[in-house]
Amino acid sequence: LEGKKRKITSRPPRAPAATSHSVLTEIQPDCQPLTTPPKPKEILPADPWTPTSNLKMLISAASPEIRSREQRRELSNNSREVLQAKHCLQVYEYEKSQPSRKEKSLGLLCHKFLARYPDYPSTAENNYICLDEVAEELNVERRRIYDIVNVLESLHMVSRLAKNRYAWHGRHNLSKTLQALKKVGEENKYTQQIQMIKKREYEHEFDFDGERNEEMARSFGSNEHSEMSFVELPGMEFRAASVNSRKDKSLRVMSQKFVMLFLVSTPQIVSLEVAAKILIGEDQLEDLDKSKFKTKIRRLYDIANVLSSLELIKKVHVTEERGRKPAFKWTGPDVLPNVQGSCPPPISESIPSKEQCSKNLFPSRGKQNFTRHPSLIKLVKTIENDRRKIQSAPTSPVKMSASTDQNLSALPSKMAQVPAIAKHQLEGQSKSALESNQLSPEVVPKPETPRVAAPSQQPALAQPPAVCPPSHSSVSPVILPHTPAGVSYAIYLHPSQAHTVTTYSPSFMLQPLPCANVTGIKSINSKVLNKTTTEEGDNQLTTDDPTKSLTAKERPPIKSETSSQRCLKRSQALQENNLIKKCRSDEESLDPSLTFFPSGYLIPLTQCTHGNKAGFSNKEKAGICSLQHTTYSSPIAGVIPVTASELKAVNIPAFQITPLNIMLSPTSIAAAPVLSNSCLNSSNTSSAQNPSSSVLNFTLQHIGLIPAGVQVPANPVLQHMPVSLQSENVSYSSENMNLQEEKVSKNILQLSDRDGTIILSVPSVPKELQEPQTVTENFFRTPGGPNTVSSLSANSDGTDRISQGTLYIPQRKLEVSED
DNA sequence: CATTCCCGCCACCGG
DNA sequence: CCGGTGGCGGGAATG
């Protein structure tokens, strides 16, 4: 397998002047000598020597532009023949994909690879992978397989058995792995590091190097131990150990770290740049080696491609003032904080004291969830001890104990039916997603099944409730995980009220109500929301039907419209154009009076039907808003039914933001008086995948915030309650974002984010908002803006304090776009 | 030109 | 010592 094929596939990139003829002559020779045996592409059905076939080849090989150009030219000349040729050509192109580079992309290869194995292989089965075989079958050099396998290994989707041999585990371990990774990520203070980096670049890089370095050093200093090694899963390690010794392989570790970054940062978007810097910085901080950086980026692309194939992330672009940067968005399953028993990990940025951390991380009961990590040891010795105990504890041959934990995946295949469903629900299911993907990339199945806090509601398979233990937090939010459809159903109670509800009483359960539309809220929203735009892109896999989506955006008839099943999704172009117009028109229709949610936050509820997911694939296209039936009810006050389409419009956030104090602080949320971490966490997880995602995000944020703003008076009206926002969520919206969101963002408050760095901007501030706002973002700089803010920052010592700062108002908005 | 990232050389390591 | 691994970076394809 020498490099022969390479020659074959590669042809003159551009043969502009070349007539079909000249090109042909050139190509022919090349084609002939093809030596690579089984290459599909080489197998040309028709006789290669025919002019037509050559032409076909040529064209197919040519880049689109050339192709079209050529076609045009040809048309003018001998249209007849050419036309035919063209036709054939097209057929060809479809049948046999063009030998473009994309065909050989790691991502595609990975897809092929993954297609060979089930996501959830039965435990008993021997799922062995022979690298040689695979390489051969997939017709690629082995080297490439290593790339794939290495990142799969980093996720424990495979493990090495021996030379050339791997065992396939599929996604059984995924959730655990992710948990572990998240944990480690938190321990490593990745969040801070990210902030650090962003902050830095923020301030024009080296302007204040001295200061920066100090901070940098400090932040990194705490995690000196950074030479993080491979994170293992308890059950897995020795298996691999038999043959696999070095676990610190860079690609593997890099992959893990990369994933950690996603899990730890709140808008689950990580730009390559930041990732690269962090991954480099860990080892040698301040080694601004350019080539090194470049290499790192290359590697990250490799990893990202595989992760993308796994549908854990997807490529997006974050547009800032400085143009758009490549980034990736986490689309994988939301990672639950931890085992049930443990208290929910704090919000990503707020790192609890070590003791606390250790407690949280290592609840005495949940043994299997720990990762053995050196860095941890360094950090907390006590933890280490705990860990040992835990780890040393006997582990059943089966990877994980299927006990009460959420390891449905571990369930024996017997329960096949149930488990299957459960799994899907639990973890973002990829397979189905893949299939569905074709239709609409947008819909990413949400891992968790919706569950209600009330025991009664729990599905049979019920995993541990997402709810945090009552004892744990003063505020008891009821959190419902997201549904695949993207409808989130979390209910947050007013702190005061929630407070009383330690156990989730049925009374709080949401019940579906007839759909009624709520209007006016949207208008409100428009004022407060941040502006973010997401361009929808699609990857190769996704085929989007532009036509469909458009209609949805139209504002549904207000008030009486019942089931407005509008598809909010629309083509990018349309989106862009329309948005603006839309926004304007929409704005007019403000109806402030419609402030319904007196006391708790309303969160869209979906019926907890397991079946939901199943359907998603179909619907996505039709309207991502298959949510139409979703009803939202306010736990406390009346129920306000809202149709899905309205969902976006309805957002709570609007008035909630109105409150004078806006605390934006991803990092310091913990500092908030009464705060339920669990709540926050769960809220964070919402990703912009869903149609209403952006709105949801927003909502969630607020929700999360609410708990933080504990001070909320009993008075249902939230008006002056301090609200802390998790800006991250807000800043970015999914591709499905609809007009309202857009306009919203424009009109009022802008929360932008540069890659997760939160920036709060208030372009046009409503009077009510004029007052000083509280922003909790440590590194807010004071550009001299009119707005002053106090920022709450977390100090290294673990204490949070509030410092004065100025609200930073960026001129640019953050845009996340897919490409 | 910039972004992506394929390709495969070759060091390294385990057997 | 051999063959599997996989770091690494040139530079091609693509945007």
Task: Compute the average pLDDT of residues A288-295.
Answer: 84
- Which nt is closest to the CA of A64, judged by C1'? C14
Q: Is the CB of A105 under 7 A from strand B?
A: yes
Give the residue whose CA sits closest to C8 at C1'.
A295
**In Å, what is the CA distance from A791 to each residue of A194, A640, A661, A783, A813?**
18, 35, 11, 14, 21
Q: Which residues of A181-198 are buried (b: 16+ CB within 10 A; e: fewer)?
A: bbbbbbbbbbbbbbbbbb
pLDDT of residue A184: 87
Whose CA is nearest the C1' atom of nucleotide B4? Answer: A301
Asked if the Cβ of residue A249 lies within 7 A of any atom of strand B, the reply is no
Most confident residue range from A180-194, A349-363, A511-525: A180-194
Name the band, by pLDDT with cuts 50, 70 and 90, for residue A730. very low
Does residue A100 lie within 7 Å of nucleic acid chain C, judged by its CB? Answer: yes
Nearest nt (C1') to A305 (CA)?
Answer: B5
The pLDDT of residue A115: 92
Pick from A170-184, A465-479, A781-795: least confident: A465-479
Output the pLDDT for position A403.
30
Question: Confidence band (pLDDT; 50, 70, 90) for A312?
Answer: very high
Is strand B within 7 Å of residue A117 (CB)? no
Q: Rounded to the nearest 10 degrees, how much is the dihedral formed by the CA atoms of A523, A528, A531, A535? A: -40
- Check if residue A72 sits with its Cβ under 7 angstroms from strand B: no
From residues 413-472 of A, list those within 7 angstroms of strand B by Cβ.
none
Please state, for a pLDDT cut of 70, what percent of chain A lies above it. Answer: 22
Contact flag, residue A319 CB and nucleic strand B, below 7 A: no
Q: Kindly determine whether the C-beta of residue A251 is less than 7 Å away from any atom of nucleic acid strand C.
A: yes
Q: Which nucleotides of B are covered by protein (CB under 7 A)?
A: 3-9, 13-15
Residues 6+ apart with CB under 8 A from A115: none
User: What value does the mean pLDDT take over residues A275-281?
Assistant: 82
8 A C-beta contact, residue A440 and residue A486: no
| Candidate ranges A402-406, A533-537, A563-567; pick with highest mean pLDDT | A533-537
* CA of A353, C1' of B4: distance in angstroms: 42
Q: Is there contact between A388 and strand B, defined as CB under 7 Å from any strand atom?
A: no
CA-to-C1' distance for A252 and C5, Å? 13
Q: Within 7 Å: CB of A322 and strand B?
A: no
Indicate if CB(A204) is under 7 A from strand B: no
Model confidence at A182: pLDDT above 50: yes
- Of residues A731 and A776, more confidence is placed in A731
What pLDDT was estimated at residue A309? 93
Question: Residue A126: which pLDDT band, with cuts at 50, 70 and 90?
Answer: confident
> What is the C-alpha to C-alpha distance for residues A487 and A607, in angstroms, rounded to an integer?
10
Q: Which residue is nearest to nucleotide C9 (CA to C1')?
A: A295
Protein-nucleic contacts, chain A 273-302 to strand B, CB < 7 Å: 294, 297-298, 301-302
The residue that minimises its CA distance to C1' of B3 is: A326
Task: Confirm whether any atom of chain C, the nucleic acid strand, is less than 7 Å from CB of A257.
Answer: no
CA dist., res. A728 & res. A186, Å (int): 17
Task: Kindly state the tokens that stand for A264.
Answer: 């730890």
Is the pLDDT score of A291 beyond 70? Answer: yes
pLDDT tens-digit map of A540-578:
333 333 333 333 333 333 323 323 333 233 333 333 333
Q: How confident is the model at residue A234 (pLDDT cuts 50, 70, 90)?
A: low
Q: What is the mean pLDDT of residues A375-379?
A: 34
Is the pLDDT at A389 greater than 60, yes or no? no
pLDDT of residue A598: 22
- Strand C positions within 7 A of protein Cβ atoms: 4-15
Look-up of token digits 């769960």: A682
pLDDT band for position A694 (50/70/90)?
very low
Residue whose Cα is closest to the C1' of C4: A163
Least confident segment among A289-298, A597-606, A727-736: A597-606
Name, of A140-154, A440-454, A623-637, the range with top average pLDDT: A140-154
A732 CA vs B4 C1’ separation (Å): 24
Rounded distance between C-alpha atoms, residue A640 and residue A644, angstroms = 12
Under the banding of pLDDT at 50, 70 and 90, the label for residue A383 is: very low
Q: How far is the CA of A30 from the C1' of B12 (A)?
A: 37
Joined together, the tokens standing for residue A223 give: 């995690």
Average pLDDT, chain A: 46
Q: What is d(CA A624, CA A569) in angstroms, rounded to the nearest whole number?
A: 7
Beta carbons of A331 and A307 less than 8 angstroms apart: no
Considering only CA atoms, which residue is closest to the C1' of nucleotide C7?
A250
Please report the pLDDT score of residue A230 as a whole number. Answer: 78
CA(A615)–C1'(C15) in Å?
A: 36
A243 touches strand B (CB under 7 A): yes
Q: CB < 7 Å to strand C — which of 278-317 in chain A?
A: 291-292, 295, 298-299
Return the nearest residue to B8, CA–C1': A3
| pLDDT average, residue stretch A681-708 | 35
- Closest-approach nucleotide to residue A304, Cα vs C1': B5
**pLDDT greater than 60 at residue A775:** no
Span A142-148, mean pLDDT?
Answer: 93
Nearest amino-acid residue to C13, taking CA and C1':
A101
Residue A118 region by backbone torsions, left for phi larger than 0, else alpha for psi between -120 and 50, else beta: beta
Which nucleotide is at minimal CA–C1' distance from A132? C4
Q: Does the C-beta of A250 come within 7 A of strand C?
A: yes
A272 touches strand B (CB under 7 A): yes
Check residues A813 and A125 and name the one with the higher pLDDT.
Answer: A125
Is the CB of A149 less than 7 A from some atom of nucleic acid strand C? yes
Q: What are phi and psi of A411, to 5 degrees?
A: -55, 145
Q: What is the pLDDT of residue A443?
A: 32
Predicted TM-score (pTM) of this structure: 0.44
